[in-house]
Amino acid sequence: MSQPLKVAIAGLGTVGGGTVKLLRAGAERNAQRCGRAVVLSAVAERDSTRLAALPIGDAAVFTDAARMAAEADYDVLVELIGGANGIAKTICERAISARRHVVTANKAMLAHHGTELARAAEGAEVSLRYEAAVAGGIPIIKALREGLAANAISSLYGILNGTSNYILTTMRKTGRPFEDVLAEAQRLGYAEADPSFDVDGIDAAHKLTILASVAFGCATDFESVHIEGIRHVSPLDIEFANDLGYRIKLLGIARMTEVGIERRVHPCMVPIGTPIAHVDGVFNAVVVSGDFVETTMYEGRGAGERPTASAVVADILDIACDRGVPTLGVPVGSLRRIPAAPMEKVRNCFYVRLMVVDRPGVFADIATALGEHGVSMESVLQRSRAPGEAVPVVLTTHDTEEGALARALERISNLGTVLETPRIIRIAALDGQV
C-alpha cells in the first residue's frame, strides 16, 4: 500500500466537524478504495469545545490557520473557514505555493478568485477541488467536469440555495408572509442571523458563477451575474402562481446565447408539471442540457454537516487516488473569452402584478403603455372588483425582452391609477431552455 495521504483541516464548524467524523468512520473503506490510508494530520480551530467534541486523534492542533498552513505536515489542505478574502484565501494560496493540494467548500472565494486560484494550482501541478462549494452533497461539479465532459453544454439552471427554497415552500404551504417564515428559518438554523446572502440571491450567484465557468469553459465572472432575491415575493404572488399553474422558485440560470452567456439569479414561476417544481424545503436541484446527453437533473440536500462533508471527503479521495482533472474543466490557458449577454436583451414571459384603482379606463391605459413598447399581454387576472378601491391585477405577457418590459413598466408606474411599484416574476418554460 502507498504512503498515507495526510490531511490538514482549517475550520471545525459544521462542515469541518462532519469531515473529521467521516474521515474517521470511513477510514477502512477509504483505504480499500484508494489503495492508501487517508489520515488526519493537523487541524486549525480556535474553539476548544469543538476540538473536545471531535475524534481528532493525534492530529496536530493549531489555533492559527495560517500557522498550520505554513508549519504542519500535510499533503492536502481542507479550507472550511469561508469568506471571499482574508485568511481563507491566504492559506489556500500558501498551500498551493508549497505544492500542496487544496480542497475547499468556499463558493464566495471561488466565485471571486476562482480563475486566479486555478491558474496558481495548475502552475504548481496540484489539485484545487471544490465539490462541496456548490449544492452540498450533489456531485454536480464532478458531473460537469467528468460525466458530461463529452457534451457541449447549452444551459443549466437550478435551485441553489436551500434557505430560500425552504422559505418559498413554507410560504406556499402555510400562506404566511416572508418575514414570518424567515424568522422561523432562523430559529430552526436554516437561515443566518443576517440572511442577506441567502434571501437576496448572493449565495446562489456565487454557486452559479462556478457552475457557468465549468459548464462553458470560461473564466469565473461574478460581476456579470444579474441578482435578485425573494424579499418581494408575497403570499398573494404565490396564490396567483398556483392559479396560473406555476410554483415560485429562486433559480440560478446560465445559458449560452448568440450574444454571450446569460448568468442570472432571480425568482421564477416554473410549471407545476416539471420535476424541479416539486423540489421543496432545503433541497437543491440542478438541471443541465447537453448536445448529446440532452437534459439531466441532479437533486439532493444542498447543505448540512453530512451531505457537505460527503462532498469534501469525495474530493480528498480523488486526490488520494490521483484522479486529476483541470480545476475549471479545461486548462486555464484554454478558458474561452465569452462576453456576458446584456440583461436587457434577455427574453422571457413575465408575470406582472399591479395594485390599481378600479375605475374605467385603467386597463386601456395599461394596454397602451405595453403596446407602445412592443409587450404583448397573454392573460389578465383580477380576483375581485371594488369600484373606486385598490385591487390587485395580474398580467402575464408573451415572450419579450427585459428592456422593453422595463420601459413599459416605468410608464405604467407613472399612471395615477397605479398605486404601488409593479412586481414582476419571470415565467420559465423549462423545456430544456430557460
CATH number of the domain within which 24 lies: 3.40.50.720
Cα 378 to the chain's mean position, in Å? 31
Pair 273, 354 in one domain: no
- Residue 1 pLDDT: 56
**What is the arithmetic mean of pLDDT over 32-39?**
95
Using 50, 70 and 90 to split pLDDT, how confident is the model at 434? very low
**Residue 411 domain-assigned (yes or no):** yes
pLDDT at 315 over 50: yes
Instruction: Decide which of 433 and 6 is more confident.
Output: 6
Residue 190: name the closest of 175, 219, 170, 173 by CA.
170
Calpha distance 103→79 (Å, rounded): 6
- 334: burial class by Cβ within 10 Å (0-12, 13-18, 19+)? exposed
How does the average pLDDT of the chain come out, rounded?
A: 94
- Residue 181 pLDDT: 97
Using 50, 70 and 90 to split pLDDT, how confident is the model at 389? confident
Pair 229, 361 in one domain: no
Contact 52, 43 (CB under 8 A): no
Q: How much of the chain, in percent, has pLDDT values that exceed 70?
A: 97
Residue 80: name the closest of 115, 116, 54, 119 by CA.
54
Contact 131, 315 (CB under 8 A): yes
Using 50, 70 and 90 to split pLDDT, how confident is the model at 430? low
Pair 80, 165 in one domain: no
Using 50, 70 and 90 to split pLDDT, how confident is the model at 40? very high
**Residue 56 domain-assigned (yes or no):** yes
Q: Which three cell numbers stand for residue 37?
A: 490510508
**Residue 321 domain-assigned (yes or no):** no
Pair 213, 280 in one domain: yes
Least reliable range by pLDDT among 68-77, 156-165, 366-375:
366-375
- Residue 433 pLDDT: 46
Could you say which of 341, 373, 394 is where a domain stops?
A: 341
DSSP 70-135: HHS--SEEEE-S--SSHHHHHHHHHHHHTT-EEEE--HHHHHHHHHHHHHHHHHHT--EE-GGGSS
The label of the residue with cell 414570518 reads: 180
254: enclosing H helix or E strand = strand 246-257
pLDDT at 196 over 50: yes
Pair 213, 286 in one domain: yes
**What is the arithmetic mean of pLDDT over 394-410?**
95
**Residue 109 domain-assigned (yes or no):** no
Could you say which of 50, 80, 104 is where a domain stops?
A: 104
Whole-structure pTM value: 0.95
Pair 164, 249 in one domain: yes
DSSP 279-338: --TTEEEEEEEETTTEEEEEEEE-SSHHHHHHHHHHHHHHHHTT----TTSS-GGG-B--
* 249 part of the active site: no
**Residue 115 domain-assigned (yes or no):** no
Model confidence over 377-388: pLDDT tens digits? 999 887 766 666
166: enclosing H helix or E strand = helix 162-174
Calpha distance 278→272 (Å, rounded): 7
154: enclosing H helix or E strand = strand 153-159
Pair 356, 400 in one domain: yes
Pair 25, 165 in one domain: no
Calpha distance 320→3 (Å, rounded): 10
**Residue 423 domain-assigned (yes or no):** yes
Cα 193 to the chain's mean position, in Å? 20
Calpha distance 412→360 (Å, rounded): 16
Contact 155, 428 (CB under 8 A): no
Model confidence over 142-188: pLDDT tens digits? 999 999 999 999 999 999 999 999 999 999 999 999 999 999 999 98
Calpha distance 206→225 (Å, rounded): 9
Residue 424: name the closest of 372, 388, 370 by CA.
370
pLDDT at 339 over 90: yes
Bridge partner residues of 226 (DSSP): 264
pLDDT at 372 over 80: yes
Pair 292, 158 in one domain: yes
25 Cβ contact list (under 8 Å, min separation 6): none
- Residue 388 pLDDT: 63
Calpha distance 206→195 (Å, rounded): 15
Q: Which three cell numbers stand for residue 352?
A: 406582472
- Residue 164 pLDDT: 97
**What is the arithmetic mean of pLDDT over 348-354?**
95
- Residue 359 pLDDT: 79
Model confidence over 410-426: pLDDT tens digits? 999 998 888 889 999 99
Could you say which of 291, 312, 341 is where a domain stops?
A: 341
Model confidence over 202-239: pLDDT tens digits? 999 999 999 999 999 999 999 999 999 999 999 999 99
Instruction: Decide which of 242 and 382 is more confident.
Output: 242
Least reliable range by pLDDT among 84-93, 265-274, 362-371:
362-371
**Residue 322 domain-assigned (yes or no):** no
3: DSSP letter: P
235 Cβ contact list (under 8 Å, min separation 6): 171, 175, 176, 177
Pair 162, 233 in one domain: yes
What CATH number did the domain enclosing 387 receive? 3.30.70.260
From the candidates 6, 89, 207, 249, give the one annotated as an active-site residue.
207
- Characterise 388 by phi-psi region: left (phi > 0), alpha (psi -120 to 50), beta (else): left
- Residue 381 pLDDT: 86
What CATH number did the domain enclosing 222 receive? 3.30.360.10
**Residue 113 domain-assigned (yes or no):** no
Pair 271, 199 in one domain: yes
- Residue 416 pLDDT: 86
Using 50, 70 and 90 to split pLDDT, how confident is the model at 296? very high
Calpha distance 122→128 (Å, rounded): 9
The label of the residue with cell 478574502 reads: 85
165: enclosing H helix or E strand = helix 162-174
Number of domains in the chain: 3
Calpha distance 211→111 (Å, rounded): 10
- Residue 53 pLDDT: 93
Pair 161, 285 in one domain: yes
**What is the arithmetic mean of pLDDT over 282-300?**
96
- Residue 175 pLDDT: 96
Residue 23's domain spans which residues?
5-104
